[in-house]
Amino acid sequence: MAPSVPDMITAARRPAGAVLDHIGPGSQIVVNSFNGEPATVLDALEAAGDRLDGVRLHQMLAPRQRPSIEGKVPGLRHVSWFLSPATRDAFRAGHCDLVPNNFSDVPRLLRRAAAPDLVIASVSPPDRHGYFSLGTDATYTAAFIGEVPFFVEVNAQMPRTFGGNQLHVSDVVGWCEADRPLVVPPSPGVTDRDRAIAGFVAERIPDGATLQIGIGAVPDMVLAALGDHRELGVHTEVFGTGFVDLVEAGVITGTRKATHRGKIITTASLGTQRLYDFVADNPGVEFHPVDYTNDPWNVAREPHFRAVNATLEVDFLGQCASESLGSSYFSSSGGQPDYARGAIMSEHGAAFIVLHAATHDDTVSRIVPQLQPGAAVTTFKNIVDHVVTEYGVAELRGATIAERTRRLIAIAHPSFRDELTAQATTLGYL
């Protein structure tokens, strides 16, 4: 007679250290990102580092610094797929690695490059049917459900969410317990520049559009400016707190979406406790693997898609360096290229790249003739649609190099426009 679900759940309960039973020399372990990181399991791995040999931990967006990230655990090597404040210095010092990628491609790349042996994640408590949920972070780990065994940390404070993020106890080789608040990032400071940029973007979002909007000061202001809109939908990489006000005000309904009508589609949620309470047990919000949510073909199925993402620097060709200034890395590509491409493939879609025209002290232009030497091009010139600063909107798609150059100079900080014009002439662009 097959064991009952309660018996299966009880039988799989283990101390965090039991994860070591499933790890051998050279094991490749996929670690969930941010609030999905299983801290107790990682603590157990680091404590046993002297017994491990060549184990690699693959993770995007680590939420906190760790000895394994700093290269202090001989048996473990951290492999980052998106740098965070917890990993930047370690990467620059050579203590951990970074894999270039588009977010939508991470599950496939992990299969090819790592052939994962185990996935570790923080999850919600199981329901009566034996299902855990990946809570706020489906991301790349959800893509391995039913394919790779999981060892999970059940966090009593992880909200149960719905979508393609349901993990049955039969796919779990062990689970341990934790009771830890989710991380609430500090609210970004908002400036008049941010409000001006947001205004330019918001007026170009029609009623009935489907939105992908990142997190940060400008995205928050864009959402705050949409209060008079109607029947908006959401298909986004990260579902942030700013969306909640629009849902509760009846602005976001999803009734005009072509896919998942009436549903908010995302792969992760990051923000305030109010946001985490909103997504908990909410069937109107679905979390799916990133190779679904960020697939440009899926994005393009929404005919009035609008994507809003930030960058650090834009050159006259429209190339966007969103992950590094020169060769100094800050993050990685993330989903920006995925959504930029998907939005322009959408029948009536549009994509917006936003940035301040200059540094905070107005001493360095962020509109430049050429990107800094060594800069990583995150979103390349052929798929950049609109570039927005506090001085206006430059429409680049379908424009000549000369037109692009003029339009970008027109939205540069006034202090730099004459110099930029002279440099464009020297380059032969004007």
Catalytic residue set: 237
CA dist., res. 267 & res. 382, Å (int): 26
Going 138 to 143 to 146 to 149, the CA torsion angle's sign is negative
Among residues 6, 68, 72, which one has the least CA distance to residue 31?
68
